[in-house]
C-alpha cells in the first residue's frame, strides 16, 4: 500500500489519538497478531468467539509500531498503562469499534486514487469464476488488484483494498453477504463504479424470508454505481432479473441469449468435458467465437458478463478472447480429474440449490458425451433456513429427472428429507449415509470403472478427501 499519515486515519475514522504523532507514517495494517511484521499497525477485530484486543500486547512484542484499541474494551486501562511503561513510543489510537475503524480506513484510502476503476461482483452463484474471467482480462491490459480466496466480506475486502497503490488501474472486489444492507456497505467501501450480478438463488436463505429478498439485497450494489454514474451488468435470463430491475436506479446492460440484449451469446455446444464453445455478440453483430476451459453451461453466462464489462471498458478484443480461453477452474471448483478409469468432477468448495443444479447438469452432459455411468455424491447444503427440506428434496428430484445413474447422499439434512424414501434402497443404486465416514467405508463397493463422479456439498462437509477413496 501507499504510505498514509496518522492524521488521515483520524480524519477517516473519527477516532482519538492517545499516543504518537499526527505525522507518523503507516505503511501496513494487520489484523493478526501472530503474523505481525515490524512496523505494522495492528487493528484488533472482535468476533463472536474472540476479542482481538486481548492480543494487543502480543502484537507490540512482535514488532507492531502501533495499534487501535476499542473504547469499551474491558482491559483498556491495563493495556494502556503497560504499553506506556514498556513501549512508550508506540502509536495508540482509540476507536469506538475496531471493525468500523478498519472499514473506514479502507473507505478513505481507496478514494485517494482518483483514476482507479472500481468493479464489484455479486450474486448467489458464479461470483468467483466471473471475477477470475474478468481479472484475467484486466491483468493482460493493466495493473489490477482483486479479492482472492474468500476475501469477500467486511474484513477481507478492506485488507484487499490496502494492496492498491498509485500504479493500480483496476480494483475488482467479490462482494459476499449474509444479511440485508451488507452489499450496500461493501459497495460503498469499495466505491464501486461498475458492477455485475451473476444470478440469484437460495443461498444464505436462513437470513432472509424468501429468494425475492435475496435479489433485492444483491441489487443494493446499484446505489454506489448510481452515485458514480457507472453501469451494472445483469444476467437478463435469470429468473429474478425483473425483481432486480424494479430495485435499481443506475444504468444497466443486459446479458443473455436473446439478440435484443446488447450483449448476447449464440451457437453454443460442448465437448466431452462440458467445455462450451459459443459466439459472443453485441446485438446482431458477432464479436468472436470463444472456447471455455471451465466446464458447465452456466459458465457461458459468467464469461459473457466478464466479456461485456471488458468491452464496455474498451479493452482490445484479442486480449479479451485470449484471457477468457486461458481461464481455468479454481481449486475445488468444477475441476475435471482423470483418475485411473474414473472421471471426477471436483466441485467441493461450496453448494446451494442453484449451484447444485448446474453441477448436476454438467455431470449429466459429461456422462452422456462419454457414454459413461453418472454418479452424484452430495453432502448437505447449509444456510437454507426453514426451507432446507424443500430444497434438498427438489435437488433429489432433479437428480432423478436428469436420470443420474447412481445417487449417493449423506448428512442430517438429507436424512430429514429422505429417510423414508424407498428409492434409497441399495438395489436401486441410490444410497444414503448418516455421515461421510460411513460413506467412505462403502465407496469402493459402489464406484466402478468408467464412472463419471460428481462430488459436491457445502464447505463445512470438506468433501475433497472423498477423492482419495475413488
Domain at 358, CATH number = 3.90.190.20
Predicted pLDDT of residue 124: 95
* Domain annotation covers residue 271: yes
For residues 211 and 148, membership in a common domain is answered with yes
**Residue numbers of the chain with a pLDDT score lower than 70:** 419-428
Residue spans of beta strands (DSSP E) within 243-372: 251-256, 263-270, 275-282, 285-295, 335-339, 342-347
First to last CA, the chain: 45
Which pTM does this prediction carry?
0.94
For residues 132 and 62, membership in a common domain is answered with no
Q: Are 406 and 364 in contact (CB under 8 A)?
A: no
* Domain annotation covers residue 144: yes
SS3 label, residue 282: strand
Q: Are 128 and 333 in contact (CB under 8 A)?
A: yes
Range of the domain at 264: 113-326
For residues 267 and 391, membership in a common domain is answered with no
For residues 67 and 160, membership in a common domain is answered with no
Domain count, the chain: 3
Q: Are 76 and 83 in contact (CB under 8 A)?
A: no
- ∠187-188-190 over CA atoms, to 5°? 65
C-alpha to C-alpha distance for 57 and 446, rounded to whole angstroms = 55
Predicted pLDDT of residue 428: 67
Tell me the three cell numbers of residue 409: 447422499
Domain boundary among 326, 349, 367: 326
Phi-psi region of 260 (alpha: psi -120 to 50; beta: other; left: phi over 0): alpha
C-alpha to C-alpha distance for 55 and 223, rounded to whole angstroms = 37
* Domain annotation covers residue 296: yes
For residues 179 and 64, membership in a common domain is answered with no
CATH of the domain at 83: 3.40.1390.10
* Domain annotation covers residue 265: yes
Predicted pLDDT of residue 419: 61
Separate counts of helices (H) and strands (E) for the chain: 16, 22
Residue spans of beta strands (DSSP E) within 71-143: 91-95, 117-122
Predicted pLDDT of residue 420: 54
Domain boundary among 47, 78, 102: 102
For residues 322 and 339, membership in a common domain is answered with no
Q: Are 287 and 280 in contact (CB under 8 A)?
A: yes
For residues 381 and 242, membership in a common domain is answered with no
For residues 315 and 212, membership in a common domain is answered with yes
CATH of the domain at 319: 3.40.1190.10
* Domain annotation covers residue 91: yes
* Domain annotation covers residue 156: yes
Residue spans of beta strands (DSSP E) within 126-262: 144-146, 170-174, 194-197, 231-235, 251-256
Q: How far is CA 229 from CA 133, 145, 146, 223, 233, in A?
A: 24, 22, 22, 10, 13
Domain boundary among 326, 348, 366: 326
For residues 378 and 455, membership in a common domain is answered with yes
Predicted pLDDT of residue 417: 78
For residues 144 and 290, membership in a common domain is answered with yes
Give which of 354, 426, 421, 424 is closest to 391, Cα–Cα.
Answer: 354
* Domain annotation covers residue 49: yes
For residues 71 and 195, membership in a common domain is answered with no
Q: Are 39 and 28 in contact (CB under 8 A)?
A: yes
C-alpha to C-alpha distance for 415 and 10, rounded to whole angstroms = 54
For residues 288 and 413, membership in a common domain is answered with no
Predicted pLDDT of residue 423: 47
Predicted pLDDT of residue 429: 87
- ∠358-171-321 over CA atoms, to 5°? 55
* Domain annotation covers residue 107: no
Amino acid at each position: 500500500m501507499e504510505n498514509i499519515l496518522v492524521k488521515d486515519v483520524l480524519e477517516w475514522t473519527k477516532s482519538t489519538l492517545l499516543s504518537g504523532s499526527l505525522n507518523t507514517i503507516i505503511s501496513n495494517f494487520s489484523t493478526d497478531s501472530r503474523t505481525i511484521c515490524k512496523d505494522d499497525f495492528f487493528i484488533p477485530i472482535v468476533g463472536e468467539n474472540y476479542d482481538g484486543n486481548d492480543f494487543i500486547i502480543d502484537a507490540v512484542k512482535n514488532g507492531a509500531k502501533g495499534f487501535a484499541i476499542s473504547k469499551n474494551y474491558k482491559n483498556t486501562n491495563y493495556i494502556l498503562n503497560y504499553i506506556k511503561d514498556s513501549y512508550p513510543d508506540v502509536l495508540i489510537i482509540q476507536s469506538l469499534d475496531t471493525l468500523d475503524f478498519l472499514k473506514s480506513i479502507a473507505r478513505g484510502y481507496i478514494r485517494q486514487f482518483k483514476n482507479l476503476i472500481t468493479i464489484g461482483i455479486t450474486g448467489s452463484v458464479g461470483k468467483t469464476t466471473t471475477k477470475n474471467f474478468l481479472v484475467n482480462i484486466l491483468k493482460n491490459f493493466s495493473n489490477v488488484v482483486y479479492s482472492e480466496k474468500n476475501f469477500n466480506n467486511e474484513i477481507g475486502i478492506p485488507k484487499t483494498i490496502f494492496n492498491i497503490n498509485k500504479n493500480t488501474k483496476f480494483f475488482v472486489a467479490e462482494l459476499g453477504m449474509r444479511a440485508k444492507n451488507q452489499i450496500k456497505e461493501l459497495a460503498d467501501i469499495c466505491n464501486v463504479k461498475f458492477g455485475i450480478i451473476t444470478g440469484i438463488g437460495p443461498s444464505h436463505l436462513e437470513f432472509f424470508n424468501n429468494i425475492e429478498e435475496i435479489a433485492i439485497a444483491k441489487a443494493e450494489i446499484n446505489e454506489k454505481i448510481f452515485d458514480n454514474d457507472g453501469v451494472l451488468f445483469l444476467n437478463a435470463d435469470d429468473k429474478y432479473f425483473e425483481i432486480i430491475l424494479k430495485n435499481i436506479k443506475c444504468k444497466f446492460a443486459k446479458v443473455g441469449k436473446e439478440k435484443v440484449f446488447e450483449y448476447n451469446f449464440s451457437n453454443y455446444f460442448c465437448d466431452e468435458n462440458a467445455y462450451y464453445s459459443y459466439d459472443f455478440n453485441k446485438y446482431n453483430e458477432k464479436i468472436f467465437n470463444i472456447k471455455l476451459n471451465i466446464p458447465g453451461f452456466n459458465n457461458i453466462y459468467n464469461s459473457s458478463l466478464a466479456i461485456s464489462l471488458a468491452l464496455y471498458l474498451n479493452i482490445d478484443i484479442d486480449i479479451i478472447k485470449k484471457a477468457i480461453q486461458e481461464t481455468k477452474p479454481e481449486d475445488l471448483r468444477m475441476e475435471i480429474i482423470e483418475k485411473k478409469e474414473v472421471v471426477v468432477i471436483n466441485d467441493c468448495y461450496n453448494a446451494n440449490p442453484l449451484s447444485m443444479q448446474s453441477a448436476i447438469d454438467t455431470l449429466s452432459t459429461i456422462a452422456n458425451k462419454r457414454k459413461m455411468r453418472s454418479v452424484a455424491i452430495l453432502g448437505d447444503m447449509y444456510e437454507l433456513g426453514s426451507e432446507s427440506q424443500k430444497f434438498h428434496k427438489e435437488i433429489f428430484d432433479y437428480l432423478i429427472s436428469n436420470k443420474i445413474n447412481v445417487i449417493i447422499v449423506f448428512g442430517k439434512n438429507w436424512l430429514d428429507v429422505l429417510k423414508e424414501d424407498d428409492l434409497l434402497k441399495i438395489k436401486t443404486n441410490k444410497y444414503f449415509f448418516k455421515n461421510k465416514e460411513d460413506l467412505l467405508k462403502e465407496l469402493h463397493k459402489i464406484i466402478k470403472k468408467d464412472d463419471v463422479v460428481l462430488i459436491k456439498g457445502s464447505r463445512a462437509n470438506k468433501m475433497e478427501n472423498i477423492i482419495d477413496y475413488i
